Amino acid sequence: MLAEVSLAPVGEGPSVSRFVARAVEIIEQSGLEYEFHAMGTNLQGDFEQIMTVVKRCSDAMHAMGAQRVIIRMYIDDRRDKPSTLKGKIEAVKERL
């Protein structure tokens, strides 16, 4: 399963980089394949692994003082063949 996730604490001012940095640390420690980018993070794993990491990131933001966390997720649950972050990018590059 592939997922794109973005977590944003609400009401924490114009810069939330300290919250994002903590979330990226949690994702890195999870051992999941991931790609961090300017507007979110792509994750590769099974449903339970991904949801556990997202919950840990949200919990960490709350522990840092955020009263509200908005979570945006897109999930690609492909069952006909294995899907990887790298494979999706390579498939497009082959057609360029």
Residue 69: count other Cβ atoms within 10 Å of its Cβ: 19
Higher pLDDT, 30 or 14: 30
Q: Assess whether pLDDT exceeds 90 at residue 4.
A: yes
pLDDT score recorded for residue 82: 87
Domain count, the chain: 1
- Which CATH number does the domain housing residue 29 bear? 3.30.70.930
Q: Across the chain, what does the average pLDDT equal?
A: 95
% of the chain beyond a pLDDT of 90? 92
Phi, psi torsion values for 46, nearest 5 degrees: -90, 170
pLDDT score recorded for residue 60: 98
Residues 6 or more apart in contact with residue 10 via CB below 8 angstroms:
66, 67, 68, 69, 70
Residue 60 to residue 66: CA distance in whole angstroms: 9
pLDDT confidence bin for 13, thresholds 50/70/90: confident
* pLDDT mean over 56-71: 97
Residue 83: domain span: 2-95
